[in-house]
Structure 1
Amino acid sequence: MTERSTGLPSQRQVVELLDDEFARAGYEIEDVVIDAAARPARITVVADGDQGLDLDAAATLSRSASELLDSVDDNATPYVLEVTSPGVDRPLTDEKHFRRARGRKVDMVLSDGTQLTGRIGETSGGAVRLVVRDGRDLAVREISLDTITKAVVQVEFSPPNQRELELAGQTGKEAPQ
C-alpha cells in the first residue's frame, strides 16, 4: 500500500510542497516522517537552521505548512502535523550539523578508533576545531570531518567553562544551542 492510497501525501510531495516556504524562513527540511498507521495519521517535519528551531519558529512553520498541505487535497485523510527540530541526540554527520552545534560539548569517535570529548568550535573547509582537555590545560585540535565516524552532542546540566567557550569562538553571552 502506498502512502498516497491512504489519502496522505508522500514524503517527496511534502518536501516539494514545503521546501521553498521553509527556506524563505531560514530553515531546511532534514526529514519527513509519515505515520499512516497512527490514529489520527501523523506527518512529522524535521527542520533545522543555523540559529536552531525555537518554539515560536516551529509554530509559525507549522501554521504555514498546514495551510500548504491543506490546499493540496480537501478530501485528504485527517492527520496531525508536527514541525520539530532534530533533537540533541541526532548524530552530527554533515558540516552544517557541526557548524550549527558550535559551542556545544560533543563525544566523537575517529576512524582510527580514537575517542574524544570536547567543545565544537569553528567549522569550515571540511574540518572542525575541537576544544579538548590536554592534561590540566585546554587545547584546540583541528579534525577533518571525513575522519569522524560518530559525533553526538552531549546534554550539559551546568554552565560551560568560560575559557572553553572562548576557545570555541563563543563569547559566553550567546548560549550554545
Structure 2
Amino acid sequence: MAERSAGLPSQRQVIELLDGEFARAGYDIEDVVVDAGARPPRVTVVADADGGLDLDAVAELSRIASTLLDELDSAPYVLEVTSPGVDRPLTTDKHFRRAQGRRVELTLSDGSTLTGRLGELRGTTVAVVVKDGARGAFTLRDVDLDSIAKAVVQVEFSPPSPRELELAGQTGGET
C-alpha cells in the first residue's frame, strides 16, 4: 500500500473521472498536476474554454471536481481548479483560437521575434496584427504555425486601439 505515494489519485484517474463532466459544462482539462510532496498534498486541475474562465466557472468546476473526486478512496489533499497562466505557451490550434485578440510574443523558428495581436486562425496560419511604420498604422501578417517555435500571451496594462482590435477580428468588448 505504501507504493501509492500518499494515496492520492493519479493524473490519469483525475482526467478520466472529470473529463466528461467538464466537457459537458463546456470546458477542457488542459492539465492535471498531482503534488504529493506539497504540504498539504495538492491536486491542481487546469481548465480552459473559449472565452476563458471567470470566477463563477471556477466555482462550478471546483464543485463538480470535488463531488466526483470525493468518490475516490484517497488520502486528504487540497483541490485547486484554475485557468492556465498568462505565461503558458500557446501550443495548439485551440490555444491560438482562444487567444485571438490578445497581444503575443512569437519566437519564430529562424530565431527572430514578432510581437503583435493575434488575429484569426485560418488552417495552418494565424493572422498577427503588427505595427506598420512609426505613424501607428497596423497591418496583418500571416504566420505559418509551423514556423512558430514559441508563442506567449503578453500582459497588457492599457487598452488596445480600436483599429488594432478590428484587424484582429475583435470588437472592443471581447478582450
TM more than 0.5: yes
Secondary structure, counterpart of 1:170 in structure 2 = coil
Structure 2: which amino acid aligns with 1:167? L
Q: Quote the residue 1:138 is aligned against.
A: 138
Aligned to 1:10: 10
Q: 1:18 to 1:2 in 2, by over 3 A?
A: farther
Give how far 1:138 is off. Answer: 0.9
CA distance in 2, matches of 1:171, 1:45: 31
**Please, which of 94, 103, 114 is the counterpart of residue 92 of structure 2?**
94
- Cα RMSD for the two superposed structures: 1.5
Partner of 2:60: 60
For 1:113 and 1:39, locate their aligned partners in 2 and report how far apart those are by CA, in whole Å: 41
Secondary structure of the equivalent of 1:63? helix
Partner of 2:116: 118
Return closer, same or farther for 1:55/1:2 CA change in 2, 3 Å cut-off.
farther
Question: C-alpha distance in 2, partners of 1:64/1:127?
Answer: 36
Consecutive unaligned residues in structure 1, runs of 5 or more: none
TM-score normalized by the length of structure 2: 0.94
Q: TM-score, normalised by structure 1?
A: 0.93
Q: Aligned-pair distance for 1:2?
A: 8.1
* 1:27-38 aligned within 5 A: 27-38=27-38
* Displacement over 2 Å in runs of 4+: 1-5
1:121 to 1:150, Cα distance in 2 relative to 1, 3 A:
same
Instruction: Encode CA deviations 1:64-104: one digit per residue, 9 max, x unaligned.
Output: 1011011122xx21110000001111011111111101111
2:54 partner amino acid: D
Cα distance in 2 between the residues matched to 1:4 and 1:24: 31
Aligned length: 173
Q: CA contact under 8 A between 1:3 and 1:10: conserved in structure 2?
A: no
- Cα distance in 2 for partners of 1:4, 1:157 equals 45
> Identity of paired residues, percent?
72
